[in-house]
Amino acid sequence: MEYPSLSEIDKIYALQQKNTAEIKQLPASKREQLLRKLLTKIKEAENEIQAALYQDFHKSALESTITEILAVEMELKHIIKNIGKWTKDKSVGWSAMFTNVKAYLHYEPKGHVLIITPWNYPFQLPLVHLAACIAAGNTAILKLSEFSPHTNRIVKKILQEVFPEDHVAVLEGEVKETTHLLSLRFDHIHFTGSPAVGKIIMEAASKNLTDITLELGGKSPAVLDRNINVRRVVQNLIWAKFVNAGQTCIAPDYVLVPRQLKSEIEQVFREELREAFGRDAINSPDYARIINKKQFDRLVEALTDAKHLGAQVISGGATDEKELYIEPTVIGQVAMTNSLMTEEIFGPIFPIVYYSQIDEAIKFINDREKPLALYVFSNDGIFNKHVIRYTSAGSTCINDALIQIMHPKLPFGGVNNSGIGQSTGWYGFRAFSHERAVADAKGFPLSKMFWFPYSERTHKFVQWIRKIFG
């Protein structure tokens, strides 16, 4: 994909601005029709999508289906199934003081939306958020990351087959193009990316008081109890951490393990990683690559520095610059000053931090920014509830990982430094809609009791209200 010039961006923006009023009036049936067409196009393009993801990431066809294509298909089906219900006015019920008022919520499109997405799930993320945006009746400019060019091409091809550019436009660009887009006025900006860039987006949005959704990241902990099946939990963590070579926003970033389990868990990680990827993961057909040299160098430097500071590699540690390959790596005794413990890892390196009492682990988590996700593993429900009660996270999974994002009725989002607002399903539709309060007064207008000049009748009415409702 070519980068558009700034004047081309302005032209697309103006085109969509002109068309937004009309798109906002599209009935739910027409929006549903467009989403059904999108679903059909995606199914028809599965092989091309898999090939593009392989070229960008060396992502296996099966992993692309599981984490990219199926995720979009399920989201589209859920939206298509519910769009009729979601777009209808919603009564908020009766109130004794407003017996003559029909009170309801009316869902109106925000209008013109900017969606900015990162490179790590370059098919799933643009399409999942665009689907909700279209369902809500908006026009949208979709700005993709320049680091996933092959997948971007198929995303653009599919969307151009479904939507005219004055409804959905797909752009690729770097900081310059994105910065220019952010100087334009939108009704909602949906950003997925790092907290650092999230702050830039929020600042730009503040110029026009534009609504935002910030889907950010952070260091998502996994907390293990002693009361677990160690092998099963390790197998679970291996998938959650090393899918997409660890380049997943809700991947467990590090794992807090009871000290008593140290020797057992380290041995089981060695065994299970061998089971998962064979003797040499570089030859595994299931294992992806780091997206580019910049990210590769960042991770290798963090690993090298960690080892210089005394960290012990429990399993893995091999790298291959030509292949942009980093072996699935589990590491212990990482210094707290090392970037593996101070920054979001966003790669296939898994520090283990040992603890003695659960409140020590909870303090470790709470001493850091609120994470995007938090994982708790224990056969003891009281342990799980205790961890949830004394921590905060965007989302949480108990005795599993990542799957919370796939549940159609759970919102996806962070909290404070890991995100603002919620996405997917009903929550995505609501984010891209304005939830308008309507009070439809029938017959005698309630405010007549307060009209000027204030009278004895008004005083009596106010006394009655305080007596009944005060």
Ligand X SMILES: NC(=O)C1=CN([C@@H]2O[C@H](COP(=O)(O)OP(=O)(O)OC[C@H]3O[C@@H](n4cnc5c(N)ncnc54)[C@H](OP(=O)(O)O)[C@@H]3O)[C@@H](O)[C@H]2O)C=CC1
Binding site for ligand CCCCCC(=O)O (CB under 6 A): 67, 120-121, 125, 248-250, 402, 405
Q: Which is nearer to ligand X, 252 or 258 (CB)?
A: 252
Region binding ligand X by CB under 6 A among candidate stretches 44-52, 212-220, 312-320, 326-334? 212-220
Site map (CB under 6 A) of ligand X, residues 71-90, x = contact: --------------------
In one-letter notation, the amino acid at residue 221 is P
Q: Which residues of 311-344 are buried (b: 16+ CB within 10 A; e: fewer)?
A: bebbbbbebeeeebbbbbbbbbbbeeebbbbeeb
Give the x-and-dash track for 165-204 against ligand X (CB under 6 A). ---------xx--xx------------xxx--x--x----
Residues 68, 172, 215, 369: which is the catalytic one?
A: 215
Extended strands (E) in 347-407: 349-355, 373-377, 395-398
Which of 331, 309, 329 lies closest to 317 in space, CA to CA? 329
Q: Which residues pair with 158 in a beta bridge?
A: none
Q: Identify which of residues 117 and 151 has a Cβ nearer to ligand X in the complex.
A: 117
Between residues 151 and 178, which has the closer beta carbon with respect to ligand X?
Answer: 178
Smallest gap from residue 334 Cβ to ligand X (A): 19
Would you state the structure tokens that stand for residue 250, as one six-digit string?
Answer: 């809700």
Q: How far is the CB of 221 from ligand X (least distance, A)?
A: 14
Partner touching 178 among ligand CCCCCC(=O)O, ligand X, none, CB below 5 to 8 Å by kind: ligand X
Residue 124's CB is within 10 A of a number of other CB atoms, namely 21
Beta bridge partners of 141: 114, 169
* Using rule CB under 6 A, residue 344 touches ligand X: yes
Host H or E run for residue 371 = none
Should residue 424 be labelled a site residue for ligand X when binding is judged by CB under 6 A? no
- 3-class secondary structure, 315: strand
Binding of ligand X by 213 (CB under 6 A):
no
Q: Are 424 and 132 in contact (CB under 8 A)?
A: yes
Q: Is 425 in the site for ligand X (CB under 6 A)?
A: no
Question: Catalytic: 215?
Answer: yes
User: Which residue's CB is nearer to ligand X, number 338 or number 423?
Assistant: 423
Residue showing tokens 């003559």: 100
All residues at 6 or more sequence positions from 129 whose CB lies less than 8 Å from its CB, including other chains: 115, 117, 190, 192, 423, 428
In the 8-state DSSP scheme, what is residue 115? E
Distance CA 193, CA 180 (A): 18
The entry of ligand CCCCCC(=O)O, ligand X, none near residue 374 (CB within 5 to 8 angstroms by kind) is none
Judged by CB under 6 A, which stretch of 113-121, 230-238, 335-343, 374-382 contacts ligand X?
113-121
The footprint of ligand X on this chain (CB under 6 A) covers a number of residues equal to 28
Structure tokens, 307: 């080892």
Tokens of 192: 């997925």
Give the containing element (helix H, strand E) for 77. helix 70-86
352's contact among ligand CCCCCC(=O)O, ligand X, none, with CB below 5 to 8 A by partner kind, is none
Q: Hey, which residues are catalytic here?
A: 215
Note the residues at the interface with ligand X (CB under 6 A). Answer: 116-120, 125, 143, 145-147, 174-175, 178-179, 192-194, 197, 200, 215-217, 249, 344, 346, 372, 414, 419
